[in-house]
Structure formats: structure tokens, C-alpha cells
Chain A
Amino acid sequence: MNPFSYERATDAASAIRLANATAATRYLGGGTNLVDLMREHIEQPEVLVDVTPLAQTIEVRADGSMLIGAAVKNTALASDAHVRQAFPLLSRAILAGASAQIRNMATVAGNILQRTRCTYFYDEAARCNKRKPGCGCDALQGFNRYHAILGASDDCVATHPSDLCVALVALDAVVHLQGAAGSRSLPLTELHRLPGAHPEHETELQPHELITAIEIPALAFAGHSAYRKVRDRSSYAFALVSVAAALDVDAQGRVRDVRLALGGVAHKPWRASKAEAVLRGQAATEATFLAAADAELAAARGLRDNGFKIELARRTIVAVLQQLTEARA
């Protein structure tokens, strides 16, 4: 690990001031990803600004919406009484990720900004356009079982590893940002980028812009929601495919409203808007669910090792929607 200096922020303004002192600054949350990346020399900051003293509050507003401080620990969010009752898919997504030890350390904002676990990204002997833009991608022709089937490019087929983010994009979460130029907010669906020709640019954040909070708007039917993660072992593994869904079916058995998102399939948490459009207003039947899954996955492309994920995603979407329909009946 290269030498760095350590600074402890007291609030967002001090964090940004400390960060702006040098270009090579990284904000430090729980460190569960960043410390590892520093040991591997993938991240080489000169200054670490510890932002864990920032807001650790979980605010539930009168309308049922939530404002979650960026430094809230994953365990705290998954355990929150309102989340468990009103947004169970969020609690389940967090609990499906990592281990209890890591969830106790990791922050919500750190989870959102974690880097891909593509093995070629971690392997200094391999070519990776994220680590060294323009040098090529060894995952394209290599071991790519865990890689993207949607939204990938010829320069990068990495996936975003977060479970939390899949639930958050399903819930229309908004990230609150603060930077040298002031404050702004951005839908989480617009924070992460698709790889295109520049997979090294992973988010729309400006240099040293800081996530200060995550807002979840109220969604009455999200109390009826699920998160299903398919993986190579039943605990402590990244997703092959995951599905976050909330479903509202009316008395006539028609889909009044739905939220659907996929994990493990793309460079960003994948909101399944095409599938949602097929579902709304239609009968909540297996045929509709299959049509919705097919609409979303029409653009999916398999690589050497991950073609199975297209059918796996299709079946998992249908299974989760059926589970939510049957539980309601």
C-alpha cells in the first residue's frame, strides 16, 4: 500500500474542503472495498478523508418517505423498523450481500460506490480498460461467468456488485450530493454509467463530489416486495442474477403498478423499465410475466460463460412476480 495521509471530516463541508487539497483524494467509509483496492495498488490515494463521522441518521418522514445519512451502516439500515415494514425488499437486498462483519463496517454510500469484482480488474497482470484505459479487456474472451448480459460494450463487460443498489433503483431512490460547486440531487438510476468506450468513468459524480444522503420516496405497495438472489453458494457470494420487485395487483387480478430491477447483469443496477411497461394494466399471470421478462431481456447478449444468465434472469423475474402474486391472493 502506498503512503497516504489520513484526515477525519467533521461534516460534509469539511470533507469537501479536505478533499480539494489534492487531486488524489478518496473518501473513506467503512473501507471494506477501498482498503482492499489500495493493497492491490488499484487505488492509490495520497489523502484519505474519513467521512464516517458524517450523518448516521435514518429519518422517516410523515408521508413514509425516508432520508438516509450516507454514513449509515448497512446493518443499521437493514435492521431499521420502517425499512423492514415498508420496504422489505431493501432490508432483504442488504442482508443478501456480504457477511455480517462486512455489513457492520460498510456504509450506505460506500456500498453505492463500490467497484466491480471482475477478476481482471483486480489482476495487475491482466488487461483492463478500467485500470488502464485503452489497454483492452481480458474478460471479453476470458472467464466471464459473472459478467454483464445487458448494456455492456466491447471495452468492458464488468458488473456492478451491489445488492443494496438493486433495491434502491427499484424504489426510485435519489442521491443527495454536495461538492465544491454546491448541492444537487440525482436519481440513483442516473448515478452509475454504462461502460461505453470509457469504463473508467463509472459514475456521474464530479471530482470530490460527496454523497451526503439517500432519499427513498414513499411507495405504499412496497410493503409487498421481494428480493431474490441467485448465486453459486447460498450465502456470502456475489449475484449471478438478482431481482428486486414490488407488485400492486388490483381486485380484478390486474397489475396496477410494479417496480422491477435486476442485479448481477450490468455495469449498473438495472431498472427493468421495459418489463414494467409490459406489466402495467395487464393480468398478473405467468404469460404476462414471461412477456415482460422477454421484453427486458430482448437486448441481452451472452458471452462465452454467461449466456445461461439470460434464461436465469427470465426465470427469476417470473418466479419473483409469481411469488408476490400468490402471496397476495
Chain B
Amino acid sequence: MQFTINGHAVEVEADVRTSLLDLLREQLGLSGTKKGCDQGACGACTVLVDGERINACLALAVQYQGRAITTIEGLADEQTLHPLQAAFVEHDGFQCGYCTPGQICSAIGMAHELERNVPSVVTADLTAQRIAFDHDEVRERMSGNLCRCGAYNGIVDAINATFGRASA
């Protein structure tokens, strides 16, 4: 199977039963992406495929051949954290940190969705040309990522600090 992972061409042999999550973690050593529930309920495994966020645990790797996959390992360059990573540190967007890679990849995907004017269930006017980047929108759009430490306030603050102003 061939993929582009964090900008690098990767070729790997894998059983067709392998999830994208297990491929990343077990075969490619990219253990930043986390396995929480392994059934699409917690969002810890969230990665970006061609810029869109998905749950890697429910994705059969074989179905994603040829696609560009970005994991938490692909966000920072060697010296500098991604702005959202830095904001998570600054705003205490985590305690144990297990959900954090998924939260960060999910929030980056969410910001792309808002740029593309994708609505959410709390969007009052579906025909608005620009959807407000507000607290309720962020909470709803991030509901696929659970944090059992309950660091949600810090997470929302970090997301707002990184993406809020540019889109407001």
C-alpha cells in the first residue's frame, strides 16, 4: 500500500484488515495518533486526509491508498510548534494529554471546514455567506473529541486564540 504521510511517500505491506490507525501506530511507528475507543466515539485517533478530519480507527487503510495523510507528527517543523500546539500549551488545553493529538488535528480540520463555510447544527442561518466563529460553534464542531480530564475550556480557548480572530 502507498500513501503520502506527513509529506513523505510511504510504501508498506499490510493486511487488508488493518485500520489506518493501526498502520500508523504499529507499522510506521507514528504513535502520536492515539487509540481511545477504537469505535469512532472518542476522536483520539483523528487525523487529516487531504486536509479533512476523519477517525483513523474506523478507516481501513486499504481504502486510503494514494491519499495525503497528516498526523500530529506532521504539524510542527523541527524548531517551531504549530501555532495551535503552542496555544494548547499556553491555554492549558490538556491535563493527561492522551486526547490532545486528536483534538489538535480535529481543530485544524474544523478551521478548514469553517473556511469552506460548512455549516453545523447550531448555525442559525444556513444561507449565511460567513458563519461566525463563536463559542457555541466551536463546542458543537468539536463534539467528536472527548477529553476525560475535562480540559474543554482550555481547548476552546486555544482554538479561539489560534483561529478565532482570523475568522471573526
Contact = CB atoms under 8 A, between A and B. Distances in A.
A32 interface: yes
A212 interface: no
B144 A36 contact: no
Interface in B44-99: 46, 52-55, 58-60, 62-63
Contacts of A75: 52, 113, 118
Contacts of B126: 84-85, 88, 91-92
B152 to A, nearest CB: 12
Interface residues of A, number: 34
Contacts of A102: 40, 55, 58, 144
A31 B58 CA distance: 6
Interface residues of B, number: 37
Contact of A104 (B52, B60, B120, B139): B52
Contacts of B127: 84-85
Interface in B14-48: 15-17, 19, 38-40, 43, 46
B119 A101 contact: no
Interface centre among B39, B40, B59 (most CB of A within 10 A): B40
A308 interface: no
Given A4-B16, A31-B59, A102-B55, A236 B144 contact: yes
B16 A5 contact: yes
Given A31-B63, A99-B143, A1 B54 contact: no
Given A50-B63, A100-B113, A95 B120 contact: yes
B52 to A, nearest CB: 5
Contact of B144 (A4, A31, A101): A101
A101 B16 contact: no
A104 B54 contact: yes
Interface string B87-130: 00000000000000000001001100100111111010011000
The main secondary structure of chain B at its interface with chain A is loop
Interface centre among A6, A48, A91, A235 (most CB of B within 10 A): A235
Nearest to B55: A101
A42 interface: no
A100 B53 contact: yes
A315 B31 CA distance: 49
B118 A101 contact: no
A275 B143 CA distance: 34
B121 A101 contact: no
B118 A79 contact: yes
B144 A1 contact: no
Interface string A1-31: 1011110000000000000000000001011
A78 interface: yes
A112 B60 CA distance: 20
A96 interface: yes
Contacts of A291: none
Contact of B116 (A28, A39, A79): A79
Nearest to B53: A101
Interface string A91-130: 1100110111110110000000000000000000000000
B119 A78 contact: yes
A95 B121 contact: yes
A53 to B, nearest CB: 10
Interface centre among B59, B144, B145 (most CB of A within 10 A): B144
Contacts of A101: 40, 43, 46, 53-55, 106, 109, 144
A105 B54 contact: yes
A35 interface: yes
A59 B17 CA distance: 35
A159 interface: no
A52 interface: yes
A260 to B, nearest CB: 20
A36 B117 contact: no
Contacts of B55: 32, 99, 101-102, 105
Given A36-B39, A99-B144, 14 more contacts: A1-B17, A36-B40, A75-B52, A79-B117, A85-B127, A91-B119, A91-B126, A95-B123, A99-B40, A100-B106, A100-B109, A235-B121, A235-B139, A235-B143
27 contacts: A3-B15, A4-B16, A6-B63, A30-B58, A32-B58, A35-B59, A36-B39, A36-B40, A39-B38, A39-B39, A48-B60, A85-B127, A88-B126, A92-B121, A95-B121, A95-B123, A98-B144, A99-B40, A99-B55, A99-B143, A99-B144, A100-B53, A100-B109, A100-B144, A104-B54, A105-B54, A235-B121
